[in-house]
Amino acid sequence: MKKILIITDNDVGKHFVERIIETYTSENIYYVVQNKAVEYNNYDNSRFKFYEFDSTSFYKLSNLLKMEFIQVIISLKNQQDTIHTIKNIRNVKKQIRVIVLDNSDLKIENDNAIYIINSREILSARLIDYLPNVPVIAQNVGLGEGEIMEVLVPFGSSFVYRHVGVIEQKHWRIVAIYRNQELIMPTRRRMIQPNDLLVIVGKPDVLKTVYRAIKRELGQFPAPFGTNLYLFLDMRFDRGTDALNVVKNAVILHKQFKHKMIIKIYHPSDIATLQKIKSLSSDNVIIDISYDVGIGNSLILGDIRKYNVGLVIVSKVLFKDIDIKQTLFDANVPVLKISKKSFETLKDVYVILNKNRDLEKVSTTIFDISSQFGFNLELFHYKNENFEEIDEINEHYYNLSTIFSKSIKITDIDSNPIRYLQKKGNFLQCIPFSQKILANRLYTLFSTDSEKLYYKLDDNHQLFIPVQI
């Protein structure tokens, strides 16, 4: 049997002993020291021993400490009484574990076996749990630093109607789902529904990002990736009318989102084009010209952090550069590749369905874009491809169309969808930004994967959406 010493003279200590009597009496023996005797009901005499004396008395406490206790729990009104009690314990037991309930910022240095629980922090943290739109963090489980969190999934969340198995869970996990006051264990095929309460576990900084992603609702793009638009022009590739065309389309896009747009010009060499771009400068359009040489990739990543970028815009020719493409992939923000066609006449968003579950991960962004611009959303399915994954993706998109009140069209076609879309007019194609996009074009010539062959449709605008949170 393990012996535990409890030293208390306040209401919290009294309530604590009552809770132990009710629940935790099977395997421990409790020795309770109080300044004044308190009456307790229905306790087991073989498990509880009560003493009445002042714990600041070294003589009396040291006699009791001759027994082998595994730990001491202290809850006293007065800070000085607490300090003297701890000193008395340490004079007899140098290494025994001591847990102290404190409400006055008690400081005990150079003693790793003393654990101080600040009652004010616990109460304030519990009150914060009742605030809306604040994540509930487990305070007395694990490290208590936010590695266990519960999040309510709102009706318009980007997680609604997504299968657990297709949610990228890197450095975090969904460990439980509560629905209608019942616990549901998550499986890969389990679909998240509105008002589900998710219990998630992971690194605290990662969980903060996940929380924001779960709470994200339609109409906020480019959030949660960032706030501002970032047009990157490299005048080694982007010159003359081609550069101005990219800028013109970016400006149209900027007017819709109403966020700031940063136009970054790298290797400035075309003076006439440069002057026309500089004339666009305003409070919401920042012209940033870099004259440095050889730091293009790190420049982009630095700017994305500096300007809180949520959408990067590049030209078709610039996106062909392998290093630039890799840098944009590493940035983990959406990338809009602008073609020569006008954004003003754009009315349709197209998605090619395949068995890749990444299409489910990027679905909310696709709905967000099409809704904000009033675009038609159409999904194309090649009839010769029948996979269970495609049926689940269809179900997911139909569910989202219901909650977002956005009609969609799923078209079954007999021919290769890429060849079919090559005959279409102006449209925006949405594609998951995965490792497939980085593949060398030479090695994809004989592939049947529509994502690897994205460049077959790069005469149209294409939006590459990161698949990770």
- Whether residue 223 lies inside any domain: the answer is no
> Are 353 and 461 in a shared domain?
yes
Q: What range does the domain containing 449 cover? A: 348-466
**Res 331 pLDDT > 80:** yes
Distances 217 to 159, 212, 335, 368 between C-alpha atoms, Å: 9, 10, 20, 9
Whether residue 84 is found in the same domain as residue 140 = no
**Of 162, 191, 215, which one is at a domain's C-terminal end?**
215
- The pLDDT tens digits of the residues spanning 161-174 come to 888 988 878 789 99
Whether residue 260 lies inside any domain: the answer is: yes
**37 & 77 share domain:** yes
Dist. CA 175–CA 158, nearest whole Å: 19
Residue 220 forms part of a structural domain: no
Are 269 and 361 members of one domain? no
Per-residue pLDDT averaged across 11-24, rounded? 87
Residues 283 and 240 in one domain: yes
pLDDT at 26: 63
User: Which pLDDT does position 144 carry in this prediction?
Assistant: 66
Give the domain CATH number at 309.
3.40.50.620
340 in any annotated domain: no
**438, part of any domain:** yes
Average pLDDT over residues 76-92: 92
Most confident of 289-303, 313-327, 347-361: 313-327
What total number of domains does the chain contain? Answer: 4
Q: CA-to-CA distance for 105 and 386, rounded, in angstroms?
A: 65
Residue 398 confidence (pLDDT): 81
User: Which among 67, 101, 122 is the end of a domain?
Assistant: 122
User: If you average pLDDT over residues 132-161, what whole number do you get?
Assistant: 77
Residue 187 domain-assigned?
yes
Same domain, 284 and 317: yes
Res. 139 pLDDT band, cuts 50 70 90: low
Does residue 243 sit within a domain? yes
In residues, how long is the chain?
469
Which helix (H) or strand (E) segment is 412 a member of? strand 408-413
Q: What is the pLDDT of residues 180-231, one digit of tens each?
A: 889 999 998 899 998 899 999 998 877 877 887 787 666 678 877 888 999 9
- Say if residue 13 is in the same domain as residue 115: yes
Here the CATH number for the domain that contains residue 205 is 3.30.70.1450
Helix segments in 258-375, DSSP class H: 271-278, 296-306, 316-319, 322-331, 358-361, 363-373
End-of-domain residue from the set 157, 185, 215: 215
Provide the pLDDT confidence category of residue 28 given band limits of 50, 70 and 90.
confident
Examine the pLDDT at 25 and tell me if it is beyond 60.
no
- pLDDT band for position 82 (cuts 50, 70, 90): very high
**CATH code assigned at 71:** 3.40.50.720
Q: Please write the tens of the pLDDT for every residue from 393-448.
A: 888 788 778 656 678 898 888 888 898 999 888 999 999 999 989 888 887 777 77
- Report whether pLDDT(466) > 70: yes
Residue 187 and residue 165 share a domain: yes
Statement to judge: residues 14 and 118 lie in one domain? yes
pLDDT of residue 314 exceeding 80: yes
Q: What is the pLDDT of residues 91-137, one digit of tens each?
A: 999 889 999 998 887 877 778 888 888 888 888 877 877 776 677 77
How sure is the predictor about 349, in pLDDT bands with cuts at 50, 70 and 90? very high
If asked whether residues 252 and 355 sit together in one domain, one would say: no
CATH number at residue 456: 3.40.50
SS (H, E, C) 296-325: HHHHHHHHHHHCCEEEEEEEHHHHCCHHHH
Could you report the per-residue pLDDT of 34-69, keeping only the tens digit for each? 999 888 988 888 889 999 999 999 999 999 999 999
Asked if residue 140 and residue 105 are part of one domain, the reply reads: no
Residue 338 lies in a domain: no
Q: Are residues 352 and 462 in the same domain?
A: yes
User: Over pLDDT 70: what percentage of the chain?
Assistant: 94
